[in-house]
Structure 1
Amino acid sequence: MTKDIVFISLSEEDMSALDTMNGRELLEGDTRTQVLEPSCILILIISGKIVMNMFVFGARQRSVCSSFLGYFCISLALVDFLLLVMISGIHYFQDFALWGVRFTNYHICLLTQIVSHVYGILHYPVVVSAALDYYLTILRSVKLPRICSGLLYPALVLLLWMAASFYVLNSPVGYSKLDAGITTYQCTFYISKQSFYLSAAVVSTVFLVLLFCCFEVVTFVKSLKISTYIQKTVILFSYGTEWPIRGTKRLMTVILFSFLGTWAPLVILQMIILILCSHIPGYMDMNIPWLFFLNSFLLGIFYGIKYPDLLLTEKIILMDPFINWKYSFLAFIDIGQSNGDGSVTEPSPKCLLV
């Protein structure tokens, strides 16, 4: 008698079967052709996620350890790698005991289910923590010693992981009923609505800014020029002879162009997900590109709120490893304004978006 392993993605409210993957394991004496097992598919998916993490970390322009979100991204990459090692080991040894606990292929499902639930409930806490971090460092200009931030951020990250894990392990998990007479293992992958609502908020904000600044967007596009500077591609926008540049709409347009210049593909992907109402399991929904995407979005908001009192210090600029916000704000900073490190911003007739 064959044994079916069913992997099912379930939402928070609707516990009906979604995105079912059926696979078969061959028992002794079974000579039928074997398709790729669901556990193998799961290992391949998580391996692909880790490769994506490595690519994103390699593509960054600056360090990621200058903010809370940077430390959390590193911890997420470590958890992904640990999950892959654990489920790969279980799949390889099939049935073994460790420290008095017996592990089988069922634990591949169980571990991934737990991790999916933990990932799924961390979206809001992570965004709120990152927003609080930027509120203190950007809006309130709170300066912590490097040794304090190096201890505070990892401690907060560890606290979030422990709190989420404790909540998941002590919360009941619902399962759908299986057909009688079939020997199966059922894996219910948690689908979080937190990321869905966050994605909807980001896309809605982008469209609202586009509508609010539609005339400025048209003007900027008409004056657009693409060039290279120190082997990097830059986009130049002409502002005329006015210095510094004034106007809330112009500032919002520059922030929007800086954001979309880097994250336009991910914005389009979020739109497709929202339109199709796609169900993405928690172990894939929480990923490094998504966190860096939210990081740039939050920084753009806080930079805009802080203007015109924004000081382009090194700590402020290094918070985003992908967007060089300094060139976006140069044309909006008074030439007599100190950058906080003793230097003074030099004027330029252009605004550069790197």
Structure 2
Amino acid sequence: MNISIPSILLGLGVKCLLNWALVFIQRNHICKSFLGVFSVSLAIIDTALTLCAAVVHLPDDGYIFFLGLKLTRLHVCLLVQILGQVYSNLQWPVVILAGLDHFCTLTRRLHITRARWLVWLFVSSFLWYLAVLYVFLLSDFNPILEDVTYNQIQQCWVFHSPQIMQVVIFLLLSLGYAALHAGYSNRLMKDQNTDKSTTLSGRDIVKQITHIFLSTWALFLFFLAMLLLLPVGIPAYLGLNVAWLSFLNSILIAVLLCAVCPASQLMQGLAAVPPDSFCEWRFKFSLAAEDRT
């Protein structure tokens, strides 16, 4: 789809402001998880992209010289297309790594250290490096540029990001399956430590997890569904942003709480829930269930 360069710059500018606003909101624990560190790296790269595109586009003659290179508005379109492809290819790796990070946190298999953020910084940098290499060396990406001179170009061809739809459907299906599994698994496992109260508490936990998640993100899901139903889709250069990563953080926590965290740990407050600035993962139980636990 063709989008005017001023519209691209406006979208990038709004995205940068939103990114840094959300990073500031989560500043107290932004470096305690992979998604937090990756969010900071994304905000920095988005800011650099926006500044570079604005500096090249704003001069009346449509070009600047940088380190002996003549950068024109054609390079703006090329840069937006390349980073759009990088962002699209990062969607699934980010989901997988964030899921592994949250799994290790919930199951206490990863000890928290002061240098943990350095590990996630290295992983994030290496992930960006691999994504760029993939786009240039392994993918079938071919830039699309108008056959006009650099001072006449007014629009850029922009790719959309189908990976967002894939990720949303997969995670929502996973949440539904995990909720069903957690809610009814106690019926199939009867032993001396299992009774009716723990079964009911398991169902209650699933209901509370679903309620906490939807009460925070229902409007975002509706807005996302409207965007995805539009024929133009979501531009790839806007698809990866800190708001989207915050949503991924919450839905991954919800899926893993249902899938791998026993009800007894949640009831006794023993579960190490990953940091989340938007969903407050606090659960309420009946006195009878607590006494039997």
Using the size of structure 2 for normalisation, the TM-score is 0.79
Q: After superposition, give the CA deviation of every residue in 1:62-109 in whole Å (9 maximum; x if it has no partner).
A: 522211011111111111111111111112343222222111111111
Alignment partner of 1:280 out of 234, 237, 246: 234
The answer to whether residue 117 in structure 2 is matched with residue 161 in structure 1 is: no
Q: Identify the residue that residue 261 of structure 1 maps to in structure 2.
A: 215
Alignment partner of 1:270 out of 192, 205, 224: 224
Equivalents in 1 of 2:120, 2:30: separation in Å? 12
The answer to whether residue 283 in structure 2 is matched with residue 328 in structure 1 is: yes
Q: How many residues were matched structurally? A: 272
Using the size of structure 1 for normalisation, the TM-score is 0.66
* Structure (1 or 2) with the greater helix fraction: 2
Which deviates more, 203-212 or 111-120? 203-212
Q: Answer yes or no: is the 8 Å Cα contact 2:228–2:234 preserved in 1.
A: no
Q: Answer yes or no: is the 8 Å Cα contact 2:182–2:206 preserved in 1.
A: yes
CA RMSD of aligned residues (A): 3.5
Q: Which has the higher contact order (CA 8 A, sep 6+)?
A: 2
Q: Which has the larger Rg?
A: 1
Q: Percent identity?
A: 26
The answer to whether residue 144 in structure 2 is matched with residue 189 in structure 1 is: no
Gap change, CA 1:246 and 1:65, over 3 Å in 2: farther
TM-superposed CA distance for 1:189, in Å, is 2.2
Q: Answer yes or no: is the 8 Å Cα contact 1:191–1:280 preserved in 2.
A: yes
Structure 1 gaps of 5+ residues are 1-17, 22-37, 215-241, 338-354
The answer to whether residue 37 in structure 2 is matched with residue 67 in structure 1 is: no
TM-superposed CA distance for 1:193, in Å, is 2.2
Gap change, CA 1:62 and 1:278, over 3 Å in 2: farther
- Residues 105-116 of structure 1 mapped to structure 2, 5 A cutoff: 105-116=73-84
SS of the residue 1:77 aligns to:
helix
* Structure (1 or 2) with the greater strand fraction: 1
Structure 2 gaps of 5+ residues are 184-195
SS of the residue 2:159 aligns to:
strand
Q: Identify the residue that residue 97 of structure 1 maps to in structure 2.
A: 65
Equivalents in 2 of 1:179, 1:100: separation in Å? 24
Which deviates more, 82-91 or 242-251? 242-251
Q: Which amino acid aligns with 1:159?
A: F
Q: Which amino acid aligns with 2:105?
A: T
SS of the residue 1:97 aligns to:
strand
Q: After superposition, give the CA deviation of every residue in 1:107-158 in whole Å (9 maximum; x if it has no partner).
A: 11111111111101000000000111122221253314222x1221100000
TM-superposed CA distance for 1:247, in Å, is 3.2
Which deviates more, 249-258 or 48-57? 48-57
Which deviates more, 192-201 or 305-314? 305-314
Q: Answer yes or no: is the 8 Å Cα contact 1:203–1:271 preserved in 2.
A: no
